[in-house]
Structure 1
Amino acid sequence: MKEFDVYFGQLVQMTLNYAPKLILALVVLSIGWWVIGKITVIVLKAFDKPGVDTPEMKSFLGSIVGIGLKVLLLISVAGIIGIETTSFVGVIAAMGFAVGLALQGNLSNFAAGVLILLMRPFKIGDEVKLLGNWFFVKEIQIFHTIFRNFDNTETIIPNSQITSNPIQNLSANSTRSISVGFNIPYSENLKDVKDTLIKAGLNVPEVDSSVPPFFWVKAFEDHYINISIAFRAPLKGYWDTDVKVKEALVESLKEANIDIAYPIGITFGKHGEKV
């Protein structure tokens, strides 16, 4: 009976000693679990933007954020109860170091993918100039981005290469310029050329007539004047408008009997004799 009283007394003492810690640990665990759920939702909403159709990425990132925070929470709760957590932290740090060394290239692509989704330098469907090439953005993934070329082929570029190089987003604004250059002989009247081109371009229905065309002389060459003219067109249907404008400009010069300078080449006579 005395032994029972001793064991019971020890049990009561242990309960009194550990009960506050257990209660505090349960409170911290409950509140922490709820806070982690809210943080995960906030992180996922950061990726829930139009033009980025990446449900797999959202699920993957949600899992990483949720699991990482829950592991930290469980370690904290174990420390509150009195369990030594130094060994756990050491094991997790060693695992993280090993995984980081093995996947350092992919981790840089992962980090770059997160930056692309957060900073949004482009979205799906945008036309971009990158690494000296012209692309349409087809799909943004966590380690790489898939681009569509003009010939309907695909190019896959690691995200780390995208974020470390200049990106020119040609679809950033609602309108875009159509620039066309010509070489005009010195014998032509430059003002007549300018008026003819401006009138022809503005007659294309898709051209934004509210923005004045911009005409400029690029260079005075030995045998001709190098000129350019730019019109503003809506982004939607841009390439169709580009073709229409160029056709209209060339036809207008023909109708106005304005010559375009171009190399004629060499004419040969009989037996290869130059004439």
Structure 2
Amino acid sequence: MRDFERVADFLIPHRRIVHIVVLVISLLMVPGMILALSPIDMESYNMESPELDAREVILKEYPANEVTSGYAVIIRDQSKVGTEPHWVYADEFAEYGGDGVGVAEPVGGILNLSVLREISTKAEAARADPLSEFYRPIISDVTLVQHHGVLTLSDLLRVFMANESLQTRPSLSPMGVPLPPRTNWSDCGALECLLFDDENLTQAHIDLATQRLATASEGTFLRWLSLDRAFLPAADGGAIGPVGGTLSEGGMWVNASWERGRWSASSTWILIQFDRGAAEAAGWTLEWAEARAESGYDWQGLR
């Protein structure tokens, strides 16, 4: 208030001049207000500008026109398994136990052999969908093998067990030096190395394959598993892996206890590579909701 007294001492004696100045400034603002309130003349804009033409070309001709959609596959509450067949609703999801705790039931969680078979069935349904004509090639970040439109956890294991992945083939260093395969699917110890679709495949094969993929991919394979993923000790496990510990940036496990067991997690993804432009040109419309990355999942989806 002490500082305002100086302003008041100036304004009050000169109040007539101050009023005139305020009036003049207000009058000067009137033209701008009228212009702001006037309707936009769309004809004055060049809607055929080179910028708009370039945007149209980019949308139609370049890969940015393609989108990758991810659909979460989550294991079911085990108390609901065996009930009368019906649509599985969101309230039947198994509870998210927390980051890094793993899944005890079913064995391996999303890496259970029966669950992986079901994921393959879902992938085949996606490949037979009417929208499949708009699917485009997608390359696995784990195996570096190209798939057409649909990519799942089962596909990663299928490629690995066929010795077609990056991890089971010789490669070259950045300097062009030949490098041996990081791992193999030709020596499975006491097990016979089988293909993923072999009817004699067992959970022990899945345990061994997932551990070799996790190690040879420097942890990239683990990104296909939800954040509750963990290697849990088990007497009947098909692999020796890191119990506890953390994965370093160089792909090495730190402070881990190497024991017999298996990897487990509660959810994974089905990825679909989709040509948005071709679908829209054929008359389809796309509606996208806002999405964000959070851990776990609830009724509304991932969280």
Structure ranking higher on relative contact order (CA contacts 8 Å, 6+ apart): 2
Q: Give the TM-score taking structure 1 as reference length.
A: 0.23
Name the one with the larger helix percent.
1
